């Protein structure tokens, strides 16, 4: 993704949503092929679980903005100026799952020590002695980091994952650590088949 292509996509999306009269937060998803051609997948007319990534690189509080717009505020007044992208952000979804078998891991959390530091954000309601029930989505935390570029973001995420201690249940933290250490991932050489190839290499 280049700044020019991002601007081009933004202009097209802005014009399209204006024509259909859409005036609030939403997420539009695309796939890009090796020739940088984009293919529309879907639009979700709501905040998505990945919204902290956008917040980290734009400093725009999307949830607050969505509420203000729904209350009648104008988008220009909510944003108070142009959106500026700063740095690179990565999110790891920490799930209560076995990191190799991907089976759910319900139970009591005996230790919960989240990471911190510069450029680190964690969204969670989990805590030590809390119980992960078997009835809902297995997401227990969203760990998000920002760096000046992708390399720094990867380094900060690797450090944060190493600091993140959850005991009593299995989590996907070990899987995330292995992915971030993978040479192909670090080089940006990945596509929709990456995880399948990555897991095959681990066997």
Query: Is 46 part of the annotated catalytic residue set?
Result: yes
* 47, burial (CB in 10 Å: exposed 0-12, middle 13-18, buried 19+): middle
Confidence of residue 76 (pLDDT cuts 50, 70, 90): confident
Rg of the chain taking only CA atoms, in angstroms: 19
Same fold, 3-79 and 88-202: yes
**Domain extents in the chain:** 3-79, 88-202
Q: What count of other Cβ atoms lies within 10 Å of the Cβ of residue 1?
A: 9
- Is this prediction's pTM over 0.95? no
The top-level CATH class assigned to 3-79 is alpha beta
List the catalytic residue out of 6, 36, 37, 46. 46
What's the pLDDT tens digit per position in 128-182? 999 999 998 899 999 999 999 999 999 999 999 999 999 999 999 999 999 999 9
What's the pLDDT tens digit per position in 143-153? 999 999 999 99
CATH code assigned to 88-202 = 3.30.470.20
Instruction: Quote the pLDDT of residue 157.
Output: 98
């Amino acid at each position: 993704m280049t700044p020019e292509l991002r601007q081009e996509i933004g202009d097209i999306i802005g014009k399209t949503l204006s024509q259909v009269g859409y005036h609030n937060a939403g997420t539009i998803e695309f796939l890009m092929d090796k020739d940088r051609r984009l293919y529309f997948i879907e639009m979700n007319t709501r905040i998505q679980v990945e919204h902290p990534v956008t917040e980290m690189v734009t400093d725009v509080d999307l949830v607050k903005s969505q509420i203000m717009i729904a209350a009648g505020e104008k988008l220009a007044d909510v944003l108070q100026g142009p959106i500026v992208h700063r740095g690179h952000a990565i999110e790891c979804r920490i799930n209560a799952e076995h990191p190799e078998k991907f089976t759910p891991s319900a139970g009591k959390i005996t230790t919960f020590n989240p990471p911190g530091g510069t450029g680190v954000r964690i969204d969670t309601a989990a805590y030590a002695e809390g119980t992960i029930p078997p009835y809902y989505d297995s997401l227990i935390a969203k760990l998000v980091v920002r760096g000046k570029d992708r390399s720094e973001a990867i380094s900060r995420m690797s450090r944060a994952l190493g600091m993140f201690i959850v005991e009593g249940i299995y989590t996907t933290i070990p899987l995330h650590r292995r992915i971030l250490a993978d040479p192909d991932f670090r080089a940006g050489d990945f596509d929709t088949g990456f995880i399948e190839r990555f897991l095959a290499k681990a066997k």
